[in-house]
Each structure stands twice: as C-alpha cells, then as structure tokens.
C-alpha cells in the first residue's frame, strides 16, 4: 500500500491524477496539499471528496513544517509534486510568484522530505516525484529532432526558468543527499478540469459564447499535445517502474500548429451543434448556432513576448523502460474534451464567475 502526498491536487493535472490514482489504487492513502490559488478548485475533486482514503489539506508548499508534519503523521512514503504556477503569460506579467512557488516551494518540499525520510528515517522506502515540463528544453526549429532527456536546458520564459531551477534542485537533492527522486518532463496537457486561460479550454468557452478566438502571432507555433489521462498513466508508470535519479520525458506524439489545432476544435464544435440541436438555444451567440462556421471567430493578435516556436517530445525512453505509450489520439481527445466542457458547464461557469473562490474563502480561511 502506497501513502501519497499529492501537491497541487486541486489543479488541472493534479486533480486528474487524484481521480486516476483512486481509481487504480483504491486502497492507497491519498493526501492532497493545495493552497487553492486561482488555479486550484475543490470542484475538481467534488466526485471523490467523500472517499475515506482521501484527505484534503489547504496549505502552502512553502510551509516546510506543515509538509514535515503531514509526512510524519500520515506516514507518507511518496510525494507527487504538481503544485506550481503554471501559466506562461502570467509569468511574463508577474514572475515573482513563479520564483516563490516553483523554486522556493519545490525547495521547501525537498527539505521536508530530506528531514523526515533521510534524517528521521520515518519510512523504509520513499519516492519524491517531481512533475516538470518540456519547456525547460527551450524552443525547436521545424526540422530539429524532438527533445530527449539529454537535451540541454534552455528555458526562455520566467515560467520555464523557474521550472528548470526546480528540476536542478531535485537533481541536486538526489545527487548530494541520496533522496530517491524521479522527474518527468511532459508536453502540453489537455482534457477535463483544464482552467480556461490555457489555449484549448479558452477557445472552447469563447467559441460557445461567440467571442473572438485570439491566436498569438502567425499561429504557426507548434505544441505536442498530451491527453491528461495519458500523462497520469505515464506518471503512474514512473512511480511503479522508474529508477531513482532518472528523468523521463512523457509526450503525446501529437504535434500541431496552434492555428490548425483551433481549426480542428472549431470543426468539432460545428459538428456537435449539428448533432445536438439543444446547443442552439443554450449557446445562441455562437456562430454554429446560426449554421455559420466557428472558425470565423479566429483573430490573429499580438504575439506572446519570447514565444517558443516549437516543442516536441521524444518519449522513447519511457516507452522502452516503463512500457509507456500514449493512447488518446488528438482528434479523439479534442472531441472528448469538447463534449466534457458541454456536459460540465457547472464546472467552468463556477470557475469563471469566481463562485468557487468565494465558497473556498468562507470554508477554508
Ligand atoms: P494548475 O495551474 O492547473 O494547478 C496548480 C495547482 O497548484 C493549483 O491547484 C494551485 O492551487 C496549486 N498551488 C499553486 N501554488 C501553490 C502553493 N504555493 N502551495 C500549494 N499549492 C499551490 O497546473 P497544472 O496545469 O495542473 O500543472 C501541474 C504541474 O504540471 C505543474 O508543475 C506544471 O508546471 C506541470 N506541467 C503542466 C503542463 C500543462 O500542460 N498544464 C505541462 C507540463 C508540465
Ligand atoms: O509544454 C508544456 C507547457 O504547456 C506547460 O509547462 C505549461 O504549464 C502549460 O501552460 C503549457 O504552456 P503553453 O504556453 O504551451 O500553453 P498555452 O495553453 O498557454 O498556449 C499554447 C499555445 O497557444 C502557445 O503557443 C500560445 C498559444 N496561445 C495561447 C493562448 C492562451 C494562443 O495563440 N492564444 C491564446 O489565447
């Protein structure tokens, strides 16, 4: 039986991972530590909140004594560290929070793990898994080979620089102190509970309301899309089969230019409106409700400063050593994701109008 501390478990990927793990390991203990920033939502854990195996703690990863206390009192042996500031645009406008959470916060987690697991020897075996990003490797040209685990770090945004720094700290704690760490660097996730500031959920919500679909620059930037369910299975493989001190790239094998991706999403929406007439009344301001193409909403806007041109992940190491393979194709993943946003309007409406944040403030002061 594994006893996990999942940081950032009320965020997009963390919450998907909590659902995944409780589904595949129903007897394990799962403690979620999350500060519930704008990106963290208890609504993401609504369907599992009454599971006796799950405990939610509102707290900050920079609070080292709190992390130590949780590790001790729950006899936790595994940390899956998701908590971070994750949005590149926000890092450009306000880098400080990224240094505080991603760098200092990760160091606080490492210090707590070192004290309880290495100094006090509170558990027999332990694992500190750090969830990182392909953005630490920088930007690729159109013909460059995909990022491998050996690609030189070249982060370009305050976000990716802060993630790179956190990766180095994790590596150093393994090398210097012998902490049993693993790191996974993954590509762009999408799927349920994705906060509507990121490309795919923003485009879905905007097109349903007939709002512009802003494409940065020329729309030719390439991302390698990974369905969040594949990412969760990849992390599970790292925990179960990965070797301490190792790094694993996890990708979706689905490169797409942003413009092409948004056009595909628009086509998915147009088909959904044809197949589900109730959408016409529910989203009357969407072009699809008038039989027009959602893609007419596309607008090219000023580029993101320092915008990385292309990311692509070579995950052959994870395939070879862990038996990892992405299962969800981009086409199917976009259809499922669009359907999820249609069926779970309560979720994104609550997230966007701030009602969850207000509820959290009254219940979790
Ligand atoms: P997210 O922004 O949706 O969620 C982050 C979570 O961390 C939120 O629940 C937030 O409340 C919590 N958090 C933030 N600061 C905290 C603090 N100081 N203490 C405790 N909790 C705090 O992020 P995400 O998209 O789910 O990403 C999760 C992790 O995966 C991050 O480390 C990110 O860098 C990495 N990652 C994300 C992607 C992606 O496509 N989303 C891709 C590669 C890597
Ligand atoms: O590659 C992994 C990274 O993917 C993660 O580490 C980050 O946490 C995650 O946010 C994501 O970063 P991106 O910057 O790639 O994701 P975002 O959804 O913000 O943007 C995807 C692409 O779409 C990017 O090229 C910028 C572009 N874009 C984004 C938005 C929000 C637009 O053209 N218009 C938009 O409105």
Instruction: Give the pLDDT of residue 354.
Output: 73
Beta carbon of 122 within 6 Å of any ligand 2 atom = no
Average pLDDT of the residues in 291-296? 97
Average pLDDT of the residues in 283-308? 97
Nearest ligand to the CA atom of 107: 1
Domain extent, residue 134, equals 3-191+227-253+311-328+353-363
Beta carbon of 133 within 6 Å of any ligand 1 atom = yes
- The reply to whether 122 falls in a domain is yes
Nearest ligand to the CA atom of 11: 1
Task: State which of 216, 263, 265, 266 you would mutate to test the pocket of ligand 2, scoring each by most atoms of that ligand within 8 A of its C-beta.
Answer: 216
Instruction: Give the pLDDT of residue 360.
Output: 64
Beta carbon of 311 within 6 Å of any ligand 2 atom = yes
- pLDDT tens-digit readout, 264-274: 999 999 999 99
Which residue's C-alpha comes closest to atom 4 of ligand 2? 188
**What domain count does the chain have?**
1
Annotated catalytic residue within 68, 85, 134, 270: 134
CA 134 to centroid of ligand 1, rounded, Å = 14
Q: Catalytic site residue 135?
A: yes
Q: Catalytic site residue 159?
A: yes
Residue 293 has pLDDT above 70, yes or no: yes
Mean pLDDT, the chain, rounded, equals 96
Q: What is the CATH number of the domain that holds 135?
A: 3.40.50.720
Instruction: Give the pLDDT of residue 352.
Output: 83
Residue 220 has pLDDT above 70, yes or no: yes
- The reply to whether 239 falls in a domain is yes
Q: Catalytic site residue 134?
A: yes
- The reply to whether 124 falls in a domain is yes
Which residue's C-alpha comes closest to atom 34 of ligand 2? 215
Percent share of the chain, pLDDT over 70: 97
Average pLDDT of the residues in 230-238? 98
Instruction: Give the pLDDT of residue 146.
Output: 98
- The reply to whether 217 falls in a domain is no
Instruction: Give the pLDDT of residue 353.
Output: 78
- Written in H, E and C, the secondary structure of the chain is CCEEEEECCCCHHHHHHHHHHHHHCCCCEEEEEECCCCCCCHHHHHHHCCCCCEEEEECCCCCHHHHHHHHHHCCCCEEEECCCCCCHHHHHHCCHHHHHHHHHHHHHHHHHHHHHHHHCCCCCCCEEEEEEEHHHHCCCCCCCCCECCCCCCCCCCHHHHHHHHHHHHHHHHHHHHCCCEEEEEECEEECCCCCCCCHHHHHHHHHHCCCCEEEECCCCCEEEEEEHHHHHHHHHHHHHHCCCCEEEEECCCCEEEHHHHHHHHHHHHHHHHHHCCHHHHHCCCCHHHHCCCHHHHEEEECCCCCCCCECCECCHHHHHHHCCCCCCCHHHHHHHHHHHHHHCHHHHHHHHHCHHHHHHHHHCC
Instruction: Give the pLDDT of residue 101.
Output: 98
- The reply to whether 74 falls in a domain is yes
Annotated catalytic residue within 34, 60, 77, 135: 135
- The reply to whether 242 falls in a domain is yes
Name the pTM for this structure: 0.97
Beta carbon of 214 within 6 Å of any ligand 2 atom = yes
Average pLDDT of the residues in 164-188? 98
Residue 358 has pLDDT above 90, yes or no: no
- The reply to whether 293 falls in a domain is no
Instruction: Give the pLDDT of residue 365.
Output: 57
CA 83 to centroid of ligand 1, rounded, Å = 4
Instruction: Give the pLDDT of residue 364.
Output: 64
Percent share of the chain, pLDDT over 90: 96
- pLDDT tens-digit readout, 317-338: 999 999 999 999 999 999 999 9
Please give the number of the atom of ligand 2 that sits closest to the Cα of 88. 14
Annotated catalytic residue within 137, 159, 248, 341: 159
- pLDDT tens-digit readout, 42-98: 999 999 999 999 999 999 999 999 999 999 999 999 999 999 999 999 999 999 999
Average pLDDT of the residues in 125-145? 98
């Amino acid at each position: 039986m594994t006893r996990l501390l999942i940081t950032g478990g009320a965020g997009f990927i963390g919450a998907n991972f909590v659902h995944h793990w409780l589904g595949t390991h129903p007897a394990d203990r799962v403690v979620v530590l999350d500060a519930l920033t704008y990106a963290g939502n208890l609504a993401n854990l609504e369907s599992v909140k009454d599971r006796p195996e799950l405990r939610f703690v509102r707290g900050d990863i920079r609070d080292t004594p709190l992390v130590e206390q949780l590790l001790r009192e729950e006899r936790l042996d595994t940390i899956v560290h998701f908590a971070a500031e994750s949005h590149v645009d926000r890092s450009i406008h306000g880098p400080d929070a990224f240094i505080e959470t991603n760098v200092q916060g990760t160091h606080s987690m490492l210090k707590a793990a070192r004290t309880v697991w290495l100094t006090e020897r509170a558990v027999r075996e332990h694992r500190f898994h750090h969830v990182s990003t392909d953005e630490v490797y920088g930007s690729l040209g159109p013909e460059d080979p995909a990022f491998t685990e050996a690609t030189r770090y070249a982060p370009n945004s305050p976000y990716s620089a802060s993630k790179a720094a956190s990766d180095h700290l994790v590596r150093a704690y393994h090398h210097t102190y012998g902490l049993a760490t693993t790191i996974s660097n993954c590509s762009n996730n999408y799927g349920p509970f994705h906060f509507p500031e990121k490309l795919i959920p923003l485009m879905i919500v905007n097109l349903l309301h007939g709002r512009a679909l802003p494409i940065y620059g020329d729309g030719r930037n390439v991302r390698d899309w990974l369905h969040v369910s594949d990412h969760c299975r990849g992390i599970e493989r790292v925990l179960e089969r990965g070797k301490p001190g190792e790094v694993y790239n996890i990708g979706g094998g689905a490169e797409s230019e942003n413009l092409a991706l948004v056009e595909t999403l628009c086509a998915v929406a147009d088909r959904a409106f044809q197949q589900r007439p109730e959408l016409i009344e529910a989203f009357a301001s969407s072009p699809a409700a008038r039989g027009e193409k959602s893609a007419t909403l596309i607008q090219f806007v000023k580029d993101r400063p320092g915008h990385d041109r292309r990311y692509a992940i070579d995950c052959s190491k994870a395939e070879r050593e862990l038996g990892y393979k992405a299962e969800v194709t981009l086409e199917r993943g976009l259809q499922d994701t669009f359907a999820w946003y249609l069926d779970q309007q309560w979720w994104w409406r609550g997230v966007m109008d701030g009602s969850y944040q207000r509820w959290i403030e009254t219940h979790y002061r």
